[in-house]
């Protein structure tokens, strides 16, 4: 994700679709950027929405895994 994209929506899309997001790397980068980089309010809102979506999907995946293993253990 090296260079900054001029369009905040395109940049957010890169954060969301970047393969490192699966490992949380892009989410951490987005959070750090929000804390330490200057950005417009529009871009800040887009990053927050992207982080909330990432957290939602990550939590959902954990719930699915927990349900699977809980069912396996209790069979």
- The domain limits of the chain are 8-73
Instruction: List, for residues 5-62, the tens digit of each pLDDT value.
Output: 466 566 666 655 555 455 577 788 888 888 888 888 988 888 888 888 888 888 999 9
The confidence score (pLDDT) of residue 1 equals: 42
Q: Are 16 and 9 in contact (CB under 8 A)?
A: no
Structure confidence at residue 65 (pLDDT): 94
Q: What was the pLDDT predicted at 3?
A: 47
pLDDT at position 60:
92
How far is Cα 75 from Cα 55, in angstroms, rounded to an integer? 30
Reference 46, options 69, 54, 61; nearest CA is: 54
Tell me how crowded residue 30 is: count the other CB atoms within 10 A of its CB: 24
Please give the full DSSP string across 22-61, using - where no structure is assigned.
Answer: GGTHHHHHHHHHHHHS---HHHHHHHHHHHHHHHHHHHHH
């Amino acid at each position: 994700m090296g260079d900054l994209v001029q369009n905040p929506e395109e940049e957010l899309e890169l954060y969301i679709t970047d393969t490192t997001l699966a490992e949380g790397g892009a989410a951490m980068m987005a959070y750090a950027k929000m804390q330490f980089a200057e950005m417009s309010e529009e871009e800040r809102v887009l990053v927050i929405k992207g982080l909330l979506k990432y957290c939602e999907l990550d939590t959902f995946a954990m719930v699915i895994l927990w349900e699977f293993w809980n069912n396996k253990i209790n069979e």
